[in-house]
Structure 1
Amino acid sequence: MDAHDRKILDIIQSGFPIEERPYAAVGEQLGLTESEVLARVRALRAKGVIRRIGANFSSGSLGWQSTLCAARVPEAQIEAFVAEVNSHQGVTHNYLRDHSFNVWFTMIAPDMAAVRATLAEITSKTGIAVLNLPAEELFKIKVDFAMEGA
């Protein structure tokens, strides 16, 4: 990565321009063209430096419910279980852990009844019970990785 790549990463982590042509706006800040910024972002994605570009919404502020879920999934069933979990629109992300509860995921839905219905459907289709762990208190941690000077 060169200095321009690091500056692009600094900008898009938390200051992604909400404009019709956001990469042109980033380019203006850096003295690059829109095409140059897009090519750099694509290259950073291809290298795995950037995994995802997308907005984060506060589900509670939008009137939705979110929850953390965990399941004990036998090794031989992980792929099928995760495929079922991922087939549900409200699942935001999931990950494996080295723990007896080895598959964790988060999901959002219009209300807790919809969350419970989705979890029941996952259990029905997979035969694996899902632990529903809605937050009792919300802690938001903002993480930016300063790239300038790195």
Structure 2
Amino acid sequence: MDEIDKKLLDITQNGLPMVSRPFLALAEKLKIEEREVIYRLESLKNKGYIRRMGGVFDSKKLGYCSTLCAISVPKNKVEYVSKVVNSYDEITHNYIRDHTYNMWFTIIAPSRERIEEIMTAIKKEGEVLDMIDLPAVRRFKVKASFKLSEV
């Protein structure tokens, strides 16, 4: 990753410019071509530096429900169960932890019923014996950004 990639990540992790051509605006800021910005972002995503690019919405205000789930997965089944979990569009995060409950993921869906359908399906498809459902009682919004470039 070169310094331009680092600067591009510094800028985009806090959002894209709200203009008709956001990649052109980024290009002008970085003094490179628009197509190079697009190429670099695609390359960074393909290499795993960028997980996703998209809007962040307040799902509760939009009428959605959410929960955090924790499951115990045998080490030899982690990859398989991850694929099962990640097959649902409603899953927004999925992390492996060093704990008895070693896979944690969030579900955001239009209803509590849909969340329960997904949890039931994951238990069945992934042959998961133990799942904890942890809906939020209080929300905390933490914004993290990481300075990568030298400038």
Task: State TM-score, norm by structure 1.
Answer: 0.84
Task: Supply the distance in 1 between the matched residues of 2:150 and 2:124 (Cα, whole angstroms).
Answer: 52
Q: Quote the residue 2:120 is aligned against.
A: 120
Give structure 2 stretches of 5+ with no counterpart: none
After superposition, the CA RMSD in angstroms is 2.1
Q: Aligned pair 1:97/2:97, yes or no?
A: yes
Q: Which runs of 5+ in 1 are unaligned?
A: none
Instruction: Report what 2:65 is aligned to.
Output: 65
1:14-25 aligned within 5 A: 14-25=14-25
* Aligned equivalents of 1:73, 1:138: Cα separation in 2: 27
Give 2:139's aligned residue.
138
Q: Bigger shift: 53-62 or 129-138?
A: 53-62
- How many residue pairs get aligned? The number is 149
Calculate the TM-score normalised by the size of structure 2.
0.84
The alpha-carbon deviation at position 140 of structure 1 amounts to: 0.7
Percent identical: 41
Q: Measure how far apart 1:41 and its partner are.
A: 2.6
2:7 paired residue number: 7
Cα deviation, residue 95, structure 1? 1.4
Show structure 1 runs of 4+ deviating over 6 A. Answer: none
Question: Within 1, Cα distance between the matches of 2:49 and 2:81?
Answer: 28
